[in-house]
Amino acid sequence: MRFMDEAHAHPTTPADQSRDGPARLLTPAEVANHLRVDEETLAAWRCTGRQSLPFVRLGSRLVRYRASDVARFVADHLCIGEAA
C-alpha cells in the first residue's frame, strides 16, 4: 500500500515509518559508502536527476536519504542473469 507523505508530497510506504517514529535518515557519506560511490557522485545524481534516488533537503545545504529509499534504489537496480 502506498500513500502520500503530506510534508514532502511524494509516495511513502508503511515501511518508511518505524514503531519509534519517522524513517531513519542517512548521511551522504553513509549512502556513498553503502553504494561504493563517491559523495560527489551522489551530488551529481541529485543535481542532474540522472539516478532516481530520492533525498531529503533540510535547509539549504543539509541532505539526507531515507534508508528505505536506499534499499528500494538497490532493489530496483538489481540485475539477474544479465551481462555486466
Q: What number of helices (H) and strands (E) belong to the chain?
A: 3, 5
Q: Regarding predicted confidence, which is higher, 16 or 81?
A: 81
Domain ranges of the chain: 23-84
Residues 41-72: tens digit of each pLDDT:
999 999 998 888 999 999 888 999 999 999 99
Q: Regarding predicted confidence, which is higher, 4 or 48?
A: 48
pLDDT of residue 8: 43
Q: Which of 24, 27, 6 minimizes the C-alpha distance to 15?
A: 24
DSSP symbol at 16: G
CATH number of 23-84: 1.10.10
